[in-house]
A and B are shown apart, each in its own frame.
Chain A
Amino acid sequence: MTSSTADQLAPPASAGGARRDNTGAAPTWLVVAGILVVLPALIPVLALLLRVVGASDAAWATLASARTVQLLLRSIFFAFVVTTAATSLGVTAAWITTRTDIRYSRTWSTLLALPLVIPSYVLALSFTSFAGPRGLFADMVGIGLPSITGFWGAAVVLALATYPYVYLVVRATIVRIDPSLEEAARGLGSGATEAFRRITLPQLRPSIAASALLVALYTLSDFGAVSLMRVDVFTRVIYAQYQGRIDRTPAAVLSLMLMLIAVTILWGESRSRGRSVYFAAQTPRPPTRLSLTTRQRVTTYFFLSITVGLGLALPVMVLGAWLLRGLVTGGVIDMRWGAVLGSLSGSVAAGLLAMVAAVPVAVLAVRHHGRFSRVLRTTVYAIFSLPHIAVALAVVFFASRYLGGLYQSFLLLALVYSTLFLAQASGATEAALTQINPNLEEAARGLGDNRLNAFRRITLPLILRGLMAGGALVFLTTMKELPATLLLRPTGFDTLAVRIWSTANELFYARAAAPALLLLIVSAVPMYYLIIRPRHQT
């Protein structure tokens, strides 16, 4: 899995604004379209479930084996460690940038969010290629740093890759909390730290819980970083089982287990989000910031520098150094245009397909509230949040058995991409559609248009920007996608993500640098505009 799960920090709580919405049941063709767009993921997952239940003996053997129990415990412990670390980092960073008088706090706030644009496997690659006997550091200084791999190395990498989610969500909540509550506590005799702990922290608890669960979900789903750093958690073991064994039942059972854990976490996340209650300021004003003593100030800057240094500066510099080194020594830059072309064509196709599929989902969600549209919306977000390696494996099983020619075709790959990331496109489309007065469609109908024509002539032109923004998001997420591509790509099809991952896996770091930097640049600019900036405005 790449960085996509939590790219959508949380699905919008509900669609539809305060306006009067078209009442009445949705037309049948819209319902059919809504069902069709989730089928490419839904059918394989259900087929996987049936297959595992059908192969009950073999399934039980896998489930009950000591290795599976060990794997389960290791994966959960891994997710726990990463979540704890990322949450501490994120909350601390949010508090520092909003409640202390550090200098350049706006610059720090942006820098702290930026690691969001670095895919986990690129971060992992920069860590493994920096330290270790064959690492960049050893190469330049002559002394090898101990290798950063395995459980704890991967935990550090994933904590750095995920803390921005906690940071952005918690920060957005902190700035909306009425500062006079804390001031009242101060007036009643609490110190600054005590007031934060007793008054503000309880109000932050729901957003901390929700973002922590997202981090846990991301960690369980991550494939790139754990496979490069060789940690045997679910995703890596599933891939190994799929690659190395004739009998694929164990891979299927493990995928199903992983999806089950993911669904449980998703459920917990949706519950914790529903409970968030905080008291927003009537007239927002900036809270008083804590003046730090010199010693505190030094500690704070040290903390911020380490976080931004490891999460952002190190990967960029390491990749740049590898690239330079490759250029200077005349070594291989290895910029395969086939991979660039593959990334582009796959992402464009996914973006376009997702735009088409997003329309019925968004129209149902915004214009036809009801049980069906709620279930559909939840399904779309669940597909988005499930570990991609598990969904991709389900598609492999289903397609290789029933779809014949479609298996390992570009079309199927693009279809799977677009279904996995549909939530991004439909979310953006929903937001655009909510802005449009349903009276406009009614006015068109009163003037003689049927539903479809009114949509084509009025609604579509007005939501086109949102629809295209959603398509762009899907494009970007697809660029970084790794496990689904590995499992489903046609023979000879290559992408930047696959290139980076496979060269790094074979320890050809210099070769991975150019595609990694390119991927970083391509995804950084739009990620900043689409996700970091809108969530970051105070």
Chain B
Amino acid sequence: MALHNFELEASGSMVVSLLGPSGCGKTTALRMIAGFEKPDSGSVTIGGDMVAGPDVFVPPEQRRVGMVFQDYALFPHMTVAQNVGYGAHDAGVARALALVGLEQYRTRMPHQLSGGEQQRVALARALAPGPTAVLLDEPFSNLDATLRDRMRREVRTILKGAGTTTIFVTHDQEDAFAMADVVAVMRDGAVLQVASAVELYRNPVSPWVAGFVGESDVFTGTAAMGSVETALGTFPHASPLRGKVLVMVRPEWVHPSPALDGAAVVVEQEFFGHDQLLVLELDGTRLRSRVGHVPGLGIGDRVDVGIDELVLFAEDAD
């Protein structure tokens, strides 16, 4: 996957996530930073030094970047301590193993460890030489759901403890939101938006980003100063857009209230316990609503629709 319009900056002990669907170029970007691939144009700068750019290419071994591979790539013929010590001195090994809490596993071989332990060894190995940055490629894709939750928290704590800049690649929005201070959303080789998780969720730059980082419904409306008129009613907004626009809402922003002469009809109802997902229909437009229990509400009932928040996009936005 070729990259273009790829711009990203990270510093301090920031955790940055590169989030995008498979084939969007996020792994290519990571490998370019690590030095395993050469950019045709553009540049990569680490710690103030240009490592790749016009007439510059620093080989991976001189970049002081730690990489954690998707399959961990633990050296199968070396013990945990030998793996972690591969690029570091004894002091670094001890510190890194302490950081990941695996001091007692020094003499184990990689195949004797569980998936989560292997991941922590891989992380310790990357951290041991004291790198300027740590790169993680799909770090949680090999773990089952329960372990995944735990490892997200652990890995974030370890990385924050190490105080290194982290860039990690994932296609899973939950990974990105749980781990990252800043999320960069990628599509087709380009970075579309760089923002905190909250900002990304509440203010996506395009309908595609909105759909990629959560559930969203989009319908048309006409925007005027301060308010937008839609088939569901007129709602306030703070966007500079005027005229024909796309209105994006998320299910939990939509609140139906039962009304005999309501504009919309409940056509589907799915109950999850802590909440329920309703599908409302009006003039052929469908939108989802995630709400708690609403007494007496069922399929076929008419409702009025209240909207807490909305995002406007230009009519031709993608």
Contacts and interface: CB of A to CB of B under 8 A. Distances in A.
Interface of A: 22-24, 437, 439-440, 442-450, 454, 457-458, 461-462
Given A446-B66, A447-B129, A437 B61 contact: no
Contacts of A447: 61, 66, 86-88, 125-126, 129
A336 to B, nearest CB: 43
A446 B67 contact: yes
B65 A446 contact: yes
Contacts of B36: 22, 442, 445
Interface stretch (B2-10, B69-77, B138-146, B246-254): B69-77
A105 B69 CA distance: 48
B111 to A, nearest CB: 13
Contacts of A462: 76-77
Contact of A446 (B70, B75, B126): B126
B211 interface: no
A446 to B, nearest CB: 4
B121 to A, nearest CB: 11
B60 A446 contact: yes
Contacts of B73: 437, 439-440, 442-443
Nearest to A440: B73
B34 A446 contact: yes
Nearest to A436: B76
B60 A445 contact: yes
Contact of B59 (A22, A440, A445, A458): A445
Contacts, number: 65
Contact of A442 (B38, B62, B67, B129): B67
Contacts of A446: 34-35, 60-61, 63, 65-67, 87, 126
23 contacts: A22-B36, A23-B37, A24-B37, A24-B38, A437-B71, A437-B73, A439-B73, A440-B75, A442-B69, A443-B69, A443-B73, A444-B75, A444-B87, A445-B59, A445-B60, A446-B65, A446-B66, A446-B126, A447-B61, A447-B129, A448-B87, A449-B86, A462-B77
Contacts of A454: 61
Nearest to A464: B77
Interface residues of B, number: 26
A503 B50 CA distance: 73
B141 to A, nearest CB: 14
A15 B87 CA distance: 31
Interface string B38-68: 1000000000000000000001111101110
Query: Max chain B CB contacts within 10 Å: which of A447, A448, A461?
Result: A447
Given A444-B86, A447-B86, A461-B77, A439 B61 contact: no
Contacts of B38: 24
Query: Max chain B CB contacts within 10 Å: which of A22, A444, A445?
Result: A445
A118 B23 CA distance: 53
A439 B69 contact: yes
A65 B86 CA distance: 69
A437 B70 CA distance: 11
A469 B38 CA distance: 36
A448 B76 contact: no
A439 B71 contact: yes
A439 B76 CA distance: 12
Contacts of A440: 73, 75
Query: Max chain A CB contacts within 10 Å: which of B36, B37, B63, B129?
Result: B36
Nearest to A444: B86
B134 to A, nearest CB: 10
Given A439-B73, A447-B87, A448-B61, 11 more contacts: A439-B69, A443-B67, A443-B69, A444-B86, A445-B35, A446-B34, A446-B60, A446-B66, A446-B67, A450-B61, A454-B61
Contacts of B69: 439, 442-443
A119 B46 CA distance: 63
Contacts of B77: 461-462
B61 A443 contact: no
Contacts of A23: 37
A449 B77 CA distance: 17
Query: Max chain B CB contacts within 10 Å: which of A443, A445, A448?
Result: A443
Contacts of B86: 443-444, 447, 449, 457
